[in-house]
Structures are given as structure tokens and as C-alpha cells.
Amino acid sequence: MVPFFFAYFAVVSIVSGALTIALRSPVHCGLALLALLLHVAGLFVLLNAEFLFAVQVIVYAGAILVLYLFVLMLLNLKTDERHLHTKFAVILFAGIAVCGELVLLVLQSPFAGAKGDAPADTILKDGSSYAIGIKMFSEYLLPFEIVGIFLLGAIIGAIVLAKTPSVADGERDT
């Protein structure tokens, strides 16, 4: 059952990723990106990461993607005739060659390492979010606070950038 679900999520996420960069209309690209995010969330379920699954659906598909769609609707873009770069054939060939080589190398490499302290049984005892919470608020408390400050800076930066210029500013600029 798990390999079947893995194959489904993997194939659909790759196809919708390709559609995201290949489709002409920006709104269609956004919807393909939504399909990609939801299927990547499905891969997280297969990897015992229920909390990340929820965060992926809520934050990525729910908040970030809505932000993208809002901006698309706000700008009212017309579909471009030439939506690809002029030399896209060369870049596509080089990209596919590099990507194929990368996949070949990855499939041949044995991945191993020292096992950590969180086997599946320990996580299942109290659930994934409990395990993440205990770890995040003890060992990773400082990075957590730094991310909070980063988000505050991003909010202030976005507001300052997107603010409609006042009349005095407009006169000075033009």
C-alpha cells in the first residue's frame, strides 16, 4: 500500500511541478503549484510527519498560495505571447541532462548514517507534534526566536514596500 501511495504522490507532484513552469496563464500555474503542494504534503504523511503535513496544507497551500493568487488577481496580468526565455531550448536541454545525471547518481548512492534518538515507536507514543514541540522548544529555541524576528522584519518590509506613496512622495518622485 505504501509504495502505491508513494508512486501516486511522486508522479503527480512531478507532473504538476512541470505544469507549473510550463503553463502559459499565471493563474493556471498557481493552481498547478497548489496540486504540487498538496501532493508533497501527502509524501510527508508517508514519512511519519503528520505535523508537517498539517503545516504544509495550512501555511503553504492555505496562506502562501492565496497570497500569490491575490497578487495575480490584483495585477490583472495579461497572458504573455512569449512566456519563455528566448534561449529556452538550450537551457531546457542542459537542465534535463544535469537533472538526469543527478537522479542517476542519487539512485546509485547508498545513504546511511548514525541513527538519531527518535525511532518511529518513540514518536508514535505521544504523536509527531509532541515530539517536534519538545525538541523545538528545548534544543532549537534560539533558531525559533530568530525565525520570529525574521518574520517580523519580513512583515515590516512588505508593508513599507507595498505602501501606496503619499501625495508628497509622489510629487517628489515624478
Partner 1 sequence: MEAAMRFTLHASRGTPNMVPLSAYVAVSAILFGIGLLGVLIRRNFIIVLMAVEIMLNAANINLVAFSHYLESMAGQIVALFVIAIAAGEAAVGLAIIIVVFRGKISTNVDEMNLLKW
157 part of the interface to partner 1, by CB under 8 A: yes
Q: How many residues bind partner 1 (CB under 8 A)?
A: 91
Residue 173, C-beta contacts closer than 8 angstroms, at least 6 positions apart: 165
Closest distance to partner 1 from the beta carbon of 150 (Å): 6
77 part of the interface to partner 1, by CB under 8 A: yes
Q: Is 56 exposed, middle or buried (0-12, 13-18, 19+ CB in 10 A)?
A: buried
6 part of the interface to partner 1, by CB under 8 A: yes
Kindly tell me which residue out of 120, 142, 167, 168 binds partner 1, with binding defined by CB under 8 A.
Answer: 120
Choice between 159 and 167, CB closer to partner 1: 159
Residue the block writes with cell 508513494: 6
CB 43 within 8 A of CB 9: yes
84 part of the interface to partner 1, by CB under 8 A: yes
Distance from C-alpha of 95 to C-alpha of 97, rounded to nearest angstrom: 5
Burial 139-162 (b: 16+ CB within 10 A, else e): eeeeeeeeeeeeeeeeeeeeeeee
Closest distance to partner 1 from the beta carbon of 172 (Å): 14
106 part of the interface to partner 1, by CB under 8 A: yes
Question: What's the grid cell of residue 55?
Answer: 503545516
Q: Hey, which residues between 9 and 38 contact partner 1 (CB under 8 A)?
A: 10, 13-14, 17-18, 20-21, 26, 29-30, 33, 36-37
Closest distance to partner 1 from the beta carbon of 57 (Å): 11
Distance from C-alpha of 35 to C-alpha of 15, rounded to nearest angstrom: 9
Kindly tell me which residue out of 8, 73, 136, 169 binds partner 1, with binding defined by CB under 8 A.
Answer: 136
Kindly tell me which residue out of 8, 73, 99, 145 binds partner 1, with binding defined by CB under 8 A.
Answer: 99
119 part of the interface to partner 1, by CB under 8 A: yes
